[in-house]
Amino acid sequence: MARSPFYNAHHSPVGAFATLTLGATGARGGFGLELGAPANENLYIGFERDAEPGVIDALPFYDRAEADTSNFDSEFQHRHRENEWRFEAVSTAQRDLTAQVDSWQFGDMTVRIYTPAWELSDPPEEHQVLPAVYIDLTLDNMLGERERKWVFGFSNSHRAAGMRTYRDHELNGVMRGRDLMISTDDPEAWSAVCFDPRDAIEPEHRENLNSMLGELGVLVGRVGPQEARRVRIVVGFYREGIATSGIETRYHYLRHFKSLEEVTLSGFDHFERAVEACVEPPNDLTPDQAWMRAMAIRSYYGSTQLLETTDDPKARKLFWNVNEGEYRMMNTLDLTVDQAFYELRKNAWTTRNVLDLFAERYGYWDDVQVGEHRESGGISFAHDMGVMNQFSDPGRSSYERAGLTGCFSYMSYEELTNWVLSAAIVGISQPNWLFKHANLLRDALTSLQFRDAEHPEDRKGFMRRDGARCKGGAEITTYDSLDASLGQARANAYLAGKAFGTFLALRECFRVLGNEDLATQADAEAARTAAALEEYGTSGRIPALLGEPSDSWIIPVIEGLAYPLHLGLKNELETCFGGLLSLMKRHFDTVLQPGICKFADGGWKLSSTSDNSWLSKIYLCQWVARELWNTADPQADSAHVEWLLRDGYWCWSDQIVAGRVQGSKYYPRGVTSELWLTRSSQSE
């Protein structure tokens, strides 16, 4: 079955929170800076037809290709000269999308967009944080008899910033305000600001190209007869000044680039290096898996933001921030943990950087509520660090609220596991870093214990007491929009699985730190959790809620096994937790069935009682199942691809309700798919 190539994907530099989104038909892509959604700009990318001069075959990324000047010239619109040029949107194209290259072929024309996913050194080098996207247009006109034009343009959606043409001895470009420039170093190209893309192509008077009215910025050039030409285009982004409040920071790349022009010039300097960096080593993913991984990595980088403090120019502290897609919460900790698998393979220091700021500013101590009174709880972490460039107050997230039992309630227990698990993933090989947080790790164990029960003899190894910040409400999990089967934290089997992983992760950390005492305690907690899961799973299936009424069955009860697997403990799991593992397998085999945890199309349904299924978590559970039981489910992969393509607007998205993108759109979390390239045995 041929899939349409016309779906949106991010094309983003690393850490610039900037994107060229394109692929969907109509004005539904464009250049976005710090946005939680596509900019919805027209894009004009095309070449003059060989057989029909004056006709531009263009990718169908626009709503209109004619001028609208009616507010300037209300009575006499018709008096503008008829334009002999015509845009024709192509209806078919060959698209080949990897994580770093998006190639479009239509007729004899090729457009390639390069977004190298640089590995960041600490601190990064200039080219790694260059806020630019690299594009080339190639046209093989070797057999052509006539010169043919090419066009690359966009409509400006910025409410306040106008546009101007840019020219120096080598470049032609269009600048939008002080934050965006498209430009080419093709020596025969020109650029224009105009109302009508066709006006830029063959201006009667060249000086009119410098007019500044009109919402379009356009580059135009030519390819001669009997010529094959490659045109290089750099898209430069630039966000100057202080970008955030709460903590005042700016983009780190400002250290390297003093202006948008410098970004652009540097983009051409690094162009070929960037193209080379986009060649990826082969892997054994299926095409569906490879495509989802590529889409996920793109949406991840589209949300990343590398900042630095501005209070002391001599001591700028770096902050890595992953914005939460359409919601734009900053460094949401329940995403950090899922994304840590990816970052470990790229630049684990960014995750350690995030965890440091959580430790320094976003931890808090809280009691637990027991009926009407409070008892000791312990440390936890805020859900996030703020939203939309606003750092929240210390110890507070932008998201959590008191008095609720569903969406927007506290995630104290789960965020505590998330900090620990992330720390284990990116810290276990860095004893010095881990040592810095030794007390915190100890306090985390204590807090997990007290959030279970006060007295050791009452503990069952999972969350049983809600934090006092809930003020009578109840904690939730990251699955905030689902029913209790996955949404309720207390007694939740998913969270129990994660607790199991957390205790083992803590044990490994304590061993690295040489604290056998605490390691033994953590080990004992893991055994408690395993025992509890087995106790509630005597029927062969583990109910969604342990010891509370529930008719739900969930896949993510196995999710927590990802951590010991990833930490190289597969053998230990099999030898020491064989009972739990066979229960998990039985549970998994039983629930992964149509009518329970499978949709009719074969896609995975995380909870039997909810239609809201999250792809990032499906990927994670798929990996656990593959590593433990050698499963593969190409039919499900195909269904998951269809879910994303059915939408086609929001790039990679997470929350899919019965096959339709519904929430967590434009989202970074899908990089859990990176696990598909990881073998648990590798880490042993």
322 touches its own copies by CB under 8 A: no
Rounded-to-integer distance, Cα 227 and Cα 141, Å = 5
Site stretch for its own copies (CB under 8 A), options 135-143, 183-191, 353-361, 393-401: 393-401
393 touches its own copies by CB under 8 A: yes
What track of x and - describes contact with its own copies for positions 215 through 244 (by CB under 8 A)?
-------------------------xxx--
Across-strand partners of 306? 320
669 touches its own copies by CB under 8 A: no
57 touches its own copies by CB under 8 A: no
Task: Single out the residue of 28, 232, 252, 665 in contact with its own copies (rule: CB under 8 A).
Answer: 665
610 touches its own copies by CB under 8 A: yes
Rounded-to-integer distance, Cα 258 and Cα 265, Å = 11
34 touches its own copies by CB under 8 A: yes
Q: Which residue intervals of 482-515 are DSSP H helices?
A: 484-487, 493-512
Q: What is the DSSP string of 87-107?
A: EEE-S--EEEE-SSEEEEEET
Task: Single out the residue of 612, 613, 616, 673 in contact with its own copies (rule: CB under 8 A).
Answer: 612
Total residues at the site for its own copies (CB under 8 A)? 68
Give me 666's structure tokens. Answer: 């434009």
623, 618, 612, 607: which is closest to 640 by C-alpha? Answer: 618
CB nearer to its own copies: pick between 193 and 426: 193
Site stretch for its own copies (CB under 8 A), options 478-486, 551-559, 573-581, 615-623: 478-486
The least CB distance from residue 19 to its own copies, in Å, is 13
The least CB distance from residue 248 to its own copies, in Å, is 9
Strands 55-58 and 86-89: parallel
CB nearer to its own copies: pick between 239 and 442: 239
478, 456, 479, 476: which is closest to 467 by C-alpha? Answer: 476
State the Cα torsion 142-144-146-150 to the nearest 10°: -70
Task: Single out the residue of 64, 72, 539, 548 in contact with its own copies (rule: CB under 8 A).
Answer: 72
The least CB distance from residue 122 to its own copies, in Å, is 28
Rounded-to-integer distance, Cα 613 and Cα 655, Å = 6
How crowded is the C-beta side of 6, counted as CA atoms within 13 Å? 15
Which stretch of DSSP H or E encloses residue 175? Answer: strand 172-176
Rounded-to-integer distance, Cα 261 and Cα 247, Å = 28
Rounded-to-integer distance, Cα 619 and Cα 614, Å = 9
The least CB distance from residue 461 to its own copies, in Å, is 29
Site stretch for its own copies (CB under 8 A), options 138-146, 170-178, 441-449, 518-526: 170-178
400 touches its own copies by CB under 8 A: yes
Which residues 35-54 are close enough to bind its own copies by CB under 8 A?
A: 35
Cβ pair 494, 557 in contact under 8 A? yes
CB nearer to its own copies: pick between 212 and 632: 212
Rounded-to-integer distance, Cα 395 and Cα 479, Å = 22
CB nearer to its own copies: pick between 386 and 427: 386
Question: Where along the sequence are the contacts to its own copies (CB under 8 A)?
Answer: 33-35, 69, 71-76, 79-80, 159-164, 175, 177-178, 204-205, 207-208, 210-213, 240-242, 245-246, 326-329, 386-390, 392-393, 396, 398-403, 406-408, 471, 480-483, 610-612, 655, 657, 662-663, 665
